[in-house]
Structure 1
Amino acid sequence: MADTPKTKTAPSTEDLSAQVELLKADISRLTETIGELGKAKGREYANEAKRRAESVRSEAEQRARAARGHAEDKVDEIEAYVRQNPATALGIAAFIGLIVGFLTRR
């Protein structure tokens, strides 16, 4: 028995409709997957932004505490200087007042 070559038959309308439905389902699943991926990336970026904001806030608080401490130390130094040298401090204050007066008189 000899093998008879199989002839290709044209796909029927039903076959094409079935393939189109499969394509629609695949596109729908792909769209859902891409949407989920986008949401996941959005959450990831939001979490990273929150983490960085918290880090910046924490660093700013530390720097503010350090600046406040430095300013308090300088105030203490100035108070000690004024107590030790009241006449000089009074003279410096008068001189600064005089300069400010000349500058604001315009």
Structure 2
Amino acid sequence: MSNVTKAIHNKAGDVTVEDLSKQLQVLKDDIASLTSTIGAYSQNKAAEVRDTAQLKASELGGAAQARARETQKQAEDFIRTQPATAIGIAAGAGF
């Protein structure tokens, strides 16, 4: 028998409606506390996941921009060193 259960029994050991009411109130309070704790935990986890996703997106975006800049530089270098070939490729792509 739990301490709460022992505390609400009368001296004769009988359980009354008042005893049951007290037990139900303790149960309601425990459920409310548990619900609040789960809500706070869920909010913290959601914020953590959001922050991790934003960081990853930022990292991937930075890497993509770096690759795009490098590709553009290579294309510009190719056009400078081989303009006739570049014009031929552009004409072929146009058709």
Task: Give TM-score scaled by structure 2 length.
Answer: 0.74
* 1:39 maps to 2:43: yes
Rg larger in structure: 1
Partner of 2:80: 76
CA offset at residue 65 of structure 1?
A: 0.6
Unaligned runs of at least 5 residues, structure 2: 1-10
* 1:16 maps to 2:20: yes
Task: Give distance in 2, aligned partners of 1:8 and 1:78.
Answer: 104
Superposition CA RMSD, Å: 2.1
Task: Give distance in 1, aligned partners of 2:42 and 2:57.
Answer: 22
Task: Give distance in 2, aligned partners of 1:13 and 1:52.
Answer: 58
Partner of 2:55: 51
Unaligned runs of at least 5 residues, structure 1: 1-6, 83-88
- Deviation per residue, 1:66-104 (Å, 9 max, x gap): 00100000000113xx4xxxxxx7xxx5xxx7xx7xxx7
Identity over the aligned pairs, expressed in percent?
32
4+ residue runs over 6 A deviation: none
Task: Give distance in 1, aligned partners of 2:46 and 2:14.
Answer: 47
CA offset at residue 8 of structure 1?
A: 5.5
Partner of 1:3: none
Amino acid at match of 1:16: L
Secondary structure, counterpart of 2:82 in structure 1: helix
Task: Give TM-score scaled by structure 1 length.
Answer: 0.67
Task: Give distance in 2, aligned partners of 1:11 and 1:58.
Answer: 69
Secondary structure, counterpart of 2:14 in structure 1: coil
Task: Give distance in 1, aligned partners of 2:53 and 2:13.
Answer: 59
The structure with higher relative contact order (CA 8 Å, sep 6+) is 2
Give the count of matched residue pairs. Answer: 79
